[in-house]
Amino acid sequence: MTITTTDTPKRRIDVTRPVLWLFAAFMIVLIVLPLSWLVVFAFTDKARRPTLQNFVTLFTDPAFLDPLLTTAIIATTSAVICCLVAAPIGWLVSRTDMPGRQTIRALLTASFVTPPFLGAVAWELLAAPNSGMLNQLYRYLTGAEDPLFDIYSLTGLIFVISCYTFPFVFVLVANALDNMPGELEDASAILGGKAWTTARRVTIPLALPALVAGALIAFLQAMTLFGSPAILALPAGFHTMTTKIWSLFQYPPKLELAAAAAVPLLLLTMLLLQGQKFLLGRRGFSVVGGKYGAPRPIEMGGWRWAALAFCLLVLLNPVFLPYFALLNAAFSPNATTLVTPSTATLHNIVFVFTELSSTQLALKNTVILGASTATVGTILALVVAYVTTRRVIASHRLLGFLATAPVAVPGIVLGVGLFLSYTRPPFVLYGTLWILLLAFLTINLPSAYQQLQAAFATIHPELEDASRILGATRLQALRQITAPLLRTGVIATWCFIFIGVMRELSAAIVLFTSQTKVLSVLIYDLNESGDLAAISVLGIAMLVITFAVVLAVNRIPMFGGGAGARLRNS
Amino acid sequence: MKGRRLSRRDVLQGSVALAAGTVFASPARAQAPEPVAVTPALVEAAKKEGKLIYYSSMDLPVGEKLGKAFEAAFPGITIQIERSGSERLFQRIDQEFASNIRAADIVNSSDASHFISWKKNGWLMPLVPEDVAKHFPESYRDPDGMFATSRVWLSSIAYNTNLVKPEDAPKSFADLLDPKWAGKMVKGHPAYSGTIMTATFQMVRELGWEYMEKLARQRVMQVQSSTDPPKKLSLGERAVMADGNEYGIVLLKEAGQPVEPVYPTEGTPTISGPTGIFKTAPHPNAAKLFQAWLHTRETQQFFVDFTAQYSVHAQVQSKPGRRKISDIKLMKEDAEGVEKMAEEIKTRYARLFRV
């Protein structure tokens, strides 16, 4: 029996309602304004007269169609690779007795902290066809002329994108397998199903929706990334959609074309998300009800070590090799020469922290933006999640939709939209940190909202209702009952947004100015001038800051210190 | 047409004539403002502002060292260098001005044609440093005192000496079209770098677009900044640099890296980097001080010595052991020409090189 919260007491004046409406209004401005300007620019000419000419120009120009095709190839192959790699690892970590399962899981989660553009630079150090360390090693060992890998190629780009996208798929699959009722597999075994039959008839069908959802997320990630293609595709002589959109900002900027070029990305994303919703919606059948037993780990016998070796081999690519290359470059006089104790130098570190005049500003801006976006974003997501799970106001559905909608807006598209919105009255925010705050907030809101909504869903409203029946106001009930139960989820969300801000490049690259530079943009700038050693130092500093902040936030007593935040990427 | 040699004698003659011109200034030429020296009053006013924001495309280590020298000369003023490719900076300055953001105090561009646009827009503040008035040839300073050429450098060919034997090295731009260099070259991008924009203009004028078309078929590794090809060369990532900063090569060679510049027989593209102050500078006195300081003989000499670039200051000597600019066959500069053709260069280049 449940008392629904729609029966709010009518005697008392509830201040929460106007506040909630204010939040709703804010969300509408946040998301609707940039998208409207985007559409206006896409469908008008310089004098703002309606026209379809922008689309005609784009779709008759091979210089635009080629990147569209390239992007489709990259996104599809990356999604397939991510699933092929992430599914077995997810299964091994979640369902078997493989040694070091927890370490593998932690390392994969940590690889999520690595910004993809930093990974791309690290792979330049490793696999540039001639100077790359792996290619040097290969030539040294075999005496071959040709390189083993060429990272400046379509395959190279797909490889690097997959390295930093498959953790998303992994987390989805591993979580799905974690939550799968063990009884169903047991039932299959009791009925005489052999291990393979059980896997084929029970486990795989139950995990499939998560895998497909993961594939879609991987597809969207690969399609909308800006940093990796800008770093690896341009030297190879080809564009992707995101680098093409960005090149339209070159002087004289063609904002109408940039807006129009963003429209296909936007439509495709929306279409795919509809598909994902359809597939995830079908997952409902697996929820049978009642309490489930934990799934039985599968005993792998002698294969345990082979499985571990496989996981470690995969982890070489996003974690071990890139960090080794970055550390080496940070202390090396020449970015791709192996450091020895006699050649190790602190010159790069001294340069970055004492000579490079943008370091301090970028560090300051990034930390300010990271902390404020995480705080505002968590509060916003918390309110929206509360409203939608408890159905506090009539338009809660709309609010939930608005909070999820930015998922359909690729970073660079949002960047273009925000640039168009906030470089003109009534809100002139370009040149301030506010425009970046809005961008980061919008980008991170959907996942933050989903996490907190999931957290709210696990807390039954009857606890709050009991408190309110006993005379507490809505706010008192929230503070005394719900907040303590949500601690872990809130901390995880905060950290997740903070990391999201550190990783973000595609919107920042459109929106920064000299005084509002962030670390990701600085690193990108340094890549364009070829200062790889400085990038390595900054990249390592960035990771140290991220880990320090995440650890510190987890230690704050008022958040229920000690409770380890689980970084979940949804 | 053939390249022009800029000899030290020309420079000296020009500056002597110029010095005479300033001393006995005729009223007709007196439109440019009074020359400004580094005076205690200016230093005081600059220190009150305490900060300078300098947009520049200079190679980062070189630019930051110049900034540190300024900070050391005038303690209490910190300099923030906003480094990016000149074409990128040009676009960003345009975007910032359009949004009423006035962050930049002073700018040094490697595409001299940018100053034509900025001057036309009325964005620049006139200021003639004393040394510019006395020692800079007329062709390297704006008659209205809006900017002066702070540095001159070249975009040359170069090769990695571990990968290419001196006798096999290319001697000319035409040599780069040899199939043996296919997939072995690196070059910068004219939509990012002012140096490459200026160099591309000069190469297209001397060699025609056919040259660029053929070069594009050589599977060139396309980087952005003109500061990057020398670095890719010294890493051994590519064997030959098709364009890029000659000063980067000279500095790397002096540091013991295996690189060697080649001054092509067709002539070497020459780039002037003027500096000018924005009228809307948030730190105008610091900007004036920097402009006056940058063009003194001492700073120019220091700059030439540690950056391996060239100065048009009449009293600056080239560092012993380095090649003199007067010994190199140069391509002629033409900022007006670049201004007219910039858009066409970006479009045609993007079509040929596909990025």
- ipTM at complex level: 0.90
Interchain CB distance below 8 Å, A431 and B96:
yes
What pLDDT score does A566 carry? 39
Residue appearing with tokens 């690290």: A122
Residues of B within 8 A of A534 (CB-CB) are 60
Residues of A within 8 A of B236 (CB-CB) are 130-131
Q: What is the mean pLDDT of residues B275-299?
A: 98
What pLDDT score does A409 carry? 84
What pLDDT score does B5 carry? 53
**Residue B146 bridge partners (DSSP):** none
Q: How far apart are CA A439 and CA A508, in angstroms?
A: 8
Paired tokens of B91: 């676009």
pLDDT band at A10 (very low <50, low <70, confident <90, very high): very low
Whether A362 and A476 map to the same domain: the answer is yes
| B162 part of contact set with chain A, CB < 8 Å | no
User: What percentage of chain B has pLDDT greater than the value 90?
Assistant: 90
Task: Flag whether A479 is in a domain.
Answer: yes
Q: For residue B291, which of B277, B307, B312 has the smallest C-alpha distance? A: B277
pLDDT band at A280 (very low <50, low <70, confident <90, very high): low
What pLDDT score does A476 carry? 85
- pLDDT: which is higher, A284 or A363: A363
Nearest CA in chain B to A517: B82
Paired tokens of A468: 């309110």
Interchain CB distance below 8 Å, A131 and B61:
no
Residues of B within 8 A of A435 (CB-CB) are none
What pLDDT score does B237 carry? 96
Question: What secondary structure letter does DSSP report for A1?
Answer: -
CA–CA–CA angle A94, A97, A99 (5° rounding): 100
Q: What is the mean pLDDT of residues A251-279?
A: 86
Task: Flag whether A41 is in a domain.
Answer: yes
Is the confidence at residue B6, as pLDDT, over 60?
no
Task: Flag whether A339 is in a domain.
Answer: no
Whether A492 and A545 map to the same domain: the answer is yes
pLDDT band at A25 (very low <50, low <70, confident <90, very high): confident
Domain span(s) for CATH 3.40.190.10 in chain B? 8-151+272-327, 154-269+332-353
Is the confidence at residue B29, as pLDDT, over 70?
no
Q: What is the mean pLDDT of residues A110-121?
A: 91
Is the confidence at residue B307, as pLDDT, over 60?
yes
What pLDDT score does B341 carry? 97
Task: Flag whether A109 is in a domain.
Answer: yes
Interchain CB distance below 8 Å, B100 and A335:
no
Q: What is the mean pLDDT of residues A271-275?
A: 82
Q: How far apart are CA B107 and CA B94, in angstroms?
A: 13
Per-residue pLDDT tens over the stretch A357-384? 999 999 999 999 999 999 999 999 998 8
Interchain CB distance below 8 Å, A335 and B235:
yes
Q: How far apart are CA A173 and CA A175, in angstroms?
A: 5
Long-range contacts, stretch B2-7, CB < 8 angstroms, 24+ apart: B2/B267, B3/B206, B3/B266, B3/B267, B3/B268, B3/B329, B3/B330, B3/B331, B3/B332, B4/B330, B4/B331, B4/B332, B5/B326, B5/B328, B5/B329, B5/B330, B6/B270, B6/B325, B6/B326, B6/B330, B7/B326
Alpha helices in A254-297 (DSSP H): 255-281
Q: What is the mean pLDDT of residues A329-346?
A: 92
Ligand-binding site membership of B247 (annotated): yes
Q: How many helices (H) and strands (E) does chain A have?
A: 27, 2
Which residues 4-63 on chain B approach chain A with CB closer than 8 angstroms?
53, 55, 59-61
| A510 part of contact set with chain B, CB < 8 Å | no
Task: Give the right CATH number for B154-269+332-353 from 3.20.20.70, 3.40.50.300, 1.10.1300.10, 3.40.190.10.
Answer: 3.40.190.10
Question: What mean pLDDT is reported for chain B?
Answer: 92
Residue A404 three-state SS: helix
What pLDDT score does A294 carry? 67
- pLDDT: which is higher, A467 or B311: B311
**How far off is chain B from A486, nearest CA to CA, in Å?**
43
Task: Flag whether A332 is in a domain.
Answer: no
Per-residue pLDDT tens over the stretch A506-549? 999 999 999 999 999 999 999 999 999 999 999 999 999 999 99
Whether A486 and A403 map to the same domain: the answer is yes
Task: Flag whether A370 is in a domain.
Answer: yes
Is the confidence at residue B16, as pLDDT, over 50?
no
Is the confidence at residue A33, as pLDDT, over 50?
yes
Q: How far apart are CA A447 and CA A455, in angstroms?
A: 12
Task: Flag whether A294 is in a domain.
Answer: no
CB pairs under 8 A between A and B: 127
The answer, yes or no, to whether the previous bond of B179 is cis (omega within 30 of 0) is: no
Q: What is the mean pLDDT of residues B13-33?
A: 47
What pLDDT score does A569 carry? 34
Fold of B8-151+272-327: D-Maltodextrin-Binding Protein; domain 2 (3.40.190)
Whether A280 and A355 map to the same domain: the answer is no
Residues of A within 8 A of B78 (CB-CB) are 357
Of the listed ranges A175-179, B24-28, B299-303, the least confidently predicted one is: B24-28
Is the confidence at residue A99, as pLDDT, over 90?
yes
Residue appearing with tokens 């025609």: B208
| CATH code of residue A363 | 1.10.3720.10
pLDDT band at A282 (very low <50, low <70, confident <90, very high): low
- Determine which helix (DSSP H) or strand (DSSP E) holds A5, and give its type and residue range: none
Whether A32 and A101 map to the same domain: the answer is no
| Domain total in chain A | 2
| A55 part of contact set with chain B, CB < 8 Å | no
Whether A19 and A140 map to the same domain: the answer is no
| B354 part of contact set with chain A, CB < 8 Å | yes
Q: How far apart are CA A378 and CA A495, in angstroms?
A: 10
Whether A269 and A204 map to the same domain: the answer is yes
- pLDDT: which is higher, A277 or B249: B249
Of the listed ranges A218-227, A270-279, B109-118, B309-318, the least confidently predicted one is: A270-279
Whether A45 and A146 map to the same domain: the answer is no
Structural domain including A163 reads 64-240+262-284
Interchain CB distance below 8 Å, A130 and B238:
yes
B225 → closest Cβ in A250, A423, A528: A528
Is the confidence at residue A2, as pLDDT, over 70?
no
User: What percentage of chain A has pLDDT greater than the value 90?
Assistant: 56
Interface test with A, best of B51, B57, B95, B110 (most A CBs within 10 A): B95
Task: Flag whether A434 is in a domain.
Answer: yes
Q: What is the mean pLDDT of residues B119-126?
A: 97
Is the confidence at residue B285, as pLDDT, over 50?
yes
Query: Measured on CA atoms in the order A442, A445, A447, A450, is the torsion positive or negative?
Result: negative
Whether A146 and A107 map to the same domain: the answer is yes
Classify residue B9 by burial, with Cβ atoms within 10 Å: 0-12, 13-18, 19+: exposed
In this structure, the dihedral spanned by the alpha carbons of residues A452, A455, A460 and A464, taken in order and rounded to 10 degrees, is: -50
Reduce the secondary structure of A413-466 to three states and give it as a string: HHHHHHHHHHEECCEECCCCHHHHHHHHHHHHHHHHHHHHHHHHHCCCHHHHHH
Q: How far apart are CA B38 and CA B14, in angstroms?
A: 24
Whether A158 and A32 map to the same domain: the answer is no
| A358 part of contact set with chain B, CB < 8 Å | yes
A131 → closest Cβ in B55, B78, B236: B236
Whether A20 and A84 map to the same domain: the answer is no
Q: What is the mean pLDDT of residues A212-239?
A: 93
Would you say A113 and A546 are in contact if contact means Cβ atoms under 8 Å apart? Answer: yes
Whether A369 and A418 map to the same domain: the answer is yes
